[in-house]
Chains A and B, each alone.
Chain A
Amino acid sequence: MSDKEPLFSAKNRKLLTNPLSAENPITVQVLGICSALAITAKLEPAIVMSLSVMAVTALANVIVSLLRNTIPSRIRIIVQLVVVAALVIVVDQVLKAFAYNVSKQLSVFVGLIITNCIIMGRLEAFALGNKPWPAFLDGIGNGAGYGVILIIVAFFRELLGSGTLYGFHVIPKVLYDMGYQNNGLMILPPMALITLGIIIWVHRSRNKGLIESN
């Protein structure tokens, strides 16, 4: 590398932090919604899913970035898909080996990471035109941005829907004795959509710049 840019220059740090809020892939670009709805009923699968997506985005970004000058642009989508698919299979196998229960809960959605728009979006928009290190940071950042929202949604859904957090009971038994009940709607997918909607609502009313004019 010719330029002596420090590893964590201001520009590179931006790549990490921007996707967390102002360029969040879920709440701002509204990508990757399907998986966000499907696996957020509990915190554990949501966290595992976030880590998997983060790993796949970061590594796919690096690989595509390394290959960016050799990929003919007419078949770039196919090449990207092969890269992503290979990584997803690796992640799937790792989960099956080391976290079998979670892997069963996530079921088909690990495989469906391939179709996650965030990954393809980052490959197209960033990795194809940037060097491997920034591409890696961008992948981590976007994976984290995706994960943060997933974890927030899962937090509320698990807390209100099952009365637990990461599988531990957190709502005291006294409350149940007083007549408290878990909210059954929270476990159903529609509530994930509504929770996500509320997050977007809160996010946009705090960052006025994100509100589209129509």
Chain B
Amino acid sequence: MKALRKFLDKKKPLFEKGGKYAKLQSTFEAFETFLFVPDITSKTGTHIKDAIDLKRTMSVVVLALFPALLFGMYNVGYQHFRSAGELAATGMFDLFLYGLIKVLPIIVVSYVVGLGIEFAFAQMRGHKVNEGFLVSGMLIPLIMPVEAPLWMVAVATAFAVVIGKEVFGGTGMNIWNPALVARAFFFFAYPSKMSGDAVWIADKADTFSGATPLAHAAALVGAKGEAATSIIEQHLSNTWDMFVGLIPGSIGETSTIAILIGALILIATGIGSWRIIVSVFAGGFVMGTLFNLLGSNSYMTLIPAWQHLVMGGFAFGAVFMATDPVSGTQTTRGKYIYGFLIGFLAVLIRVLNAGFPEAMMLAILLMNTFAPLIDHFVVQGNIKRRLKRVKVTA
């Protein structure tokens, strides 16, 4: 550690004003503060004191993503060998290794492209490099199908960083979650690689159906009586698999357990808002129950409300996407409203629009857009209430 510190101190003057590499100052600064907590403290005004800065915050989120990531890698292998019919003959380590080899390139592409653009913009504008991409760069691979071509991942990431973030002024200024912008871009630009049955399992055997539970559920819309119950029995009865995550889907979204572990880390460290997470689940459950009671087709009536919460990207979105402190609401009451509407809309879109089986992305992006409005009305309401109190006592 000391040697590293010494090395940095020795090189530092080169990057300061007048130094040989002064132009690369922000790049140097980014690495230095990544390795060591900066020793600069503010000198004027009142500031909140906390031991944790933005880089450390981001690292905790990345840590919280690891269970989902590791399980995702295992599941990639699991799904591949299951489709090939060689599941029994393959050891657990081999499953994981296969997944690792498949997933790692996507992660590398996401980070290289995203950080590359981030550094370039910081350099051009003379800003400090933003830390935000540390998390986005990990989120993007986790919400991609494993068969996503790398160049498409690169294009989607570039779009997300430039249009989702840099246009608005970088980390902290964006109105949408950049990772979801990447996914939305991917979904609309290259639908054949982001939906359907073929992309969720790596090197799927042709005879094997790779449909996700959501795709099976969507097939219920037109099915009646016998046909509907047979779909449920064949594909949707094994809730345990859905909960553990042994189902086809985007890399990191399948395992509700792994996501909940991440949620615990986020809540324990106070980084993710439990209010948002809980109310997203509540919203999804309420909408699901409404469908159960009033539904007019098999999808609405036969899928129990709680099953919506473990299918597809619902849990992942609730824990890692909706809680994004930048694009979400800030006020306490706003968080409940925002979260509830995300869950509510996600299930609504999912069931009513067959074109968007994975509605979590759209629901969160929509509510991201409305988050400032919700905050505005919560604050206004608060002001009004307090003004009334003033009148009574005066």
Contact = CB atoms under 8 A, between A and B. Distances in A.
A and B interact physically: yes
Interface of A: 179-181, 183-186, 188, 194, 197-198, 201
A33 B188 CA distance: 23
Contacts of B149: 179
A184 B189 contact: yes
Contacts of B167: 197, 201
Given A179-B149, A179-B151, A184 B191 contact: yes
Contact of A188 (B155, B188, B190, B192): B188
Contacts of A181: 152, 190, 192-193
Contacts of B152: 181
B260 interface: no
B163 interface: yes
B15 interface: no
B185 A185 contact: yes
A186 B185 CA distance: 10
Contacts of A198: 163
B151 A183 contact: no
Given A194-B163, A197-B167, A201-B167, A184 B188 contact: yes
A177 to B, nearest CB: 13
Contacts of A194: 163
B92 to A, nearest CB: 32
Closest 3 CB pairs of A and B: A185-B189, A185-B188, A183-B189
Contacts of B190: 181, 183-184
A159 to B, nearest CB: 14
B175 to A, nearest CB: 14
Contacts of B193: 181
Given A183-B189, A184-B189, A194-B163, 5 more contacts: A181-B193, A183-B190, A185-B185, A185-B188, A201-B167
B300 to A, nearest CB: 29
Interface of B: 149, 151-152, 155, 163, 167, 185, 188-193
B222 to A, nearest CB: 26
A126 B219 CA distance: 60
14 contacts: A179-B149, A181-B190, A181-B192, A181-B193, A183-B190, A184-B188, A184-B190, A184-B191, A185-B188, A185-B189, A186-B189, A197-B167, A198-B163, A201-B167
A197 B191 CA distance: 24
A180 B193 CA distance: 12
Nearest to A190: B188
A109 B156 CA distance: 32
A158 to B, nearest CB: 15
B255 to A, nearest CB: 29
A186 B189 CA distance: 7
B126 to A, nearest CB: 14
A188 B184 CA distance: 13
A71 B192 CA distance: 59
A68 B275 CA distance: 65
A194 B163 CA distance: 8
Nearest to A178: B151
A151 B155 CA distance: 24
Nearest to A184: B189
B153 to A, nearest CB: 12
Nearest to B152: A181
Nearest to B124: A205
Nearest to B190: A181
A179 B149 CA distance: 8
Nearest to A186: B189
Contacts of B191: 184
A186 B155 CA distance: 13
A184 B155 CA distance: 13
Contacts of B163: 194, 198
Contacts of B151: 179-180
A170 B124 CA distance: 33
Contacts of A186: 189
A179 B192 CA distance: 12
A183 B190 CA distance: 6
A96 to B, nearest CB: 34
A194 B164 CA distance: 11
A201 B185 CA distance: 20
A66 to B, nearest CB: 45
A119 to B, nearest CB: 31
A188 B185 CA distance: 11
B343 to A, nearest CB: 25
Nearest to B166: A201
B90 to A, nearest CB: 28
In this complex, the member of B149, B155, B188, B191 whose beta carbon has the largest number of chain A beta carbons within 10 angstroms is B188
Contacts of A183: 155, 189-190
Nearest to A197: B167
Nearest to B184: A185
Nearest to B151: A179
A146 B193 CA distance: 36
B243 to A, nearest CB: 34
Contacts of B189: 183-186
Contacts of A184: 188-191
A186 B167 CA distance: 19
In this complex, the member of A180, A184, A198 whose beta carbon has the largest number of chain B beta carbons within 10 angstroms is A184
Nearest to B162: A198
A198 B192 CA distance: 27
Contacts of B155: 183
Contacts of B192: 181
Contacts of A179: 149, 151
Nearest to B155: A183
